Amino acid sequence: MLYSQTSGSGEDLVLLHGWGFSADLFADLVAKYQHKYRLTVIDLPGHGRSDEVAGGAENWCAEIINNLPTNPILLGWSLGGLLAISIARQLPLKGLILVACSPNFIQNKHWNFGIPADNFRQFNTNLKADFSKGLRRFVSLQSNNKKQIKALNQSISRFPASTQALNQGLEILLNTNLLDEFQQLKIPIKVILGENDTLVPSQISAWYKACGVDVKILKTGHLPFLDENFQL
């Protein structure tokens, strides 16, 4: 069973976090928008307070779908965005918001807006040496708000992802290419990128715009929603 929590009032907006974190990552975003939206946050499989789910992206998406309200707006950050794209191909959504996300995170000869697979594996290896410490350092480089960083660090320590879930999430990021699926979507889509993001380069904005998608670039790294200028 996946952990989910709903608060606020208005049209349904569901938030999906990324690899290694929990839904607590969106605490400030929920507080900011709970008077405009009915917000549902979900811990991904094996992350936060959610049970592990065997299998890959298809299995994870099936469990997430079981926790979705009818016809929501779906916001996905990083890995959560990749899952959101897949879900958007399977059921009606009112809209899709992708934050620091790419339909294909890994570079290949036909796709320049990713990172080399070996670099990604090395990033994972470095984190696994002390995963919680690695995530805390990652967060510290994304924000100058000490109160915000402290709250996120507490969440990282309190709700660590399981080893199985981390391995599954890494495989999803390494092996999922949804470029064709993304271009077939017929729903409103908004993309928000970080100018200094090293995992999803802001240059991908050219590709998104060629797909007819609204793109906003903030002066942030891989966590644009932590910035005070972040707007839905």
CB 193 within 8 A of CB 85: no
- Report the amino acid identity of residue 32: K
Alpha helical stretches, state H, 89-175:
117-128, 131-140, 146-158, 163-175
**Catalytic residue at 110?**
no
Among residues 78, 86, 102, 155, which one is catalytic? 78
**Catalytic residue at 214?**
no
Among residues 12, 24, 197, 227, which one is catalytic? 197
Among residues 12, 22, 222, 227, which one is catalytic? 222
Question: What's the rounded Cα separation, in Å, for the pair 114 and 134?
Answer: 22
**Catalytic residue at 28?**
no
Q: 3-class SS at 86?
A: helix
- Report the amino acid identity of residue 222: H
Burial 43-80, CB ≥16 within 10 A → b, else e = bbbbbbebeebeeebeebbebbeebbeeebbbbbbbbb
Residue of 105, 200, 116, 121 lying closest to 167 (CA atoms)? 121
Residue of 130, 141, 122 lying closest to 222 (CA atoms)? 141
**What are the phi and psi torsion angles at 207 (to 5°)?**
-65, -45
Question: What's the rounded Cα separation, in Å, for the pair 202 and 119?
Answer: 18
Residue with tokens 């899952």: 83
Catalytic residues: 78, 197, 222
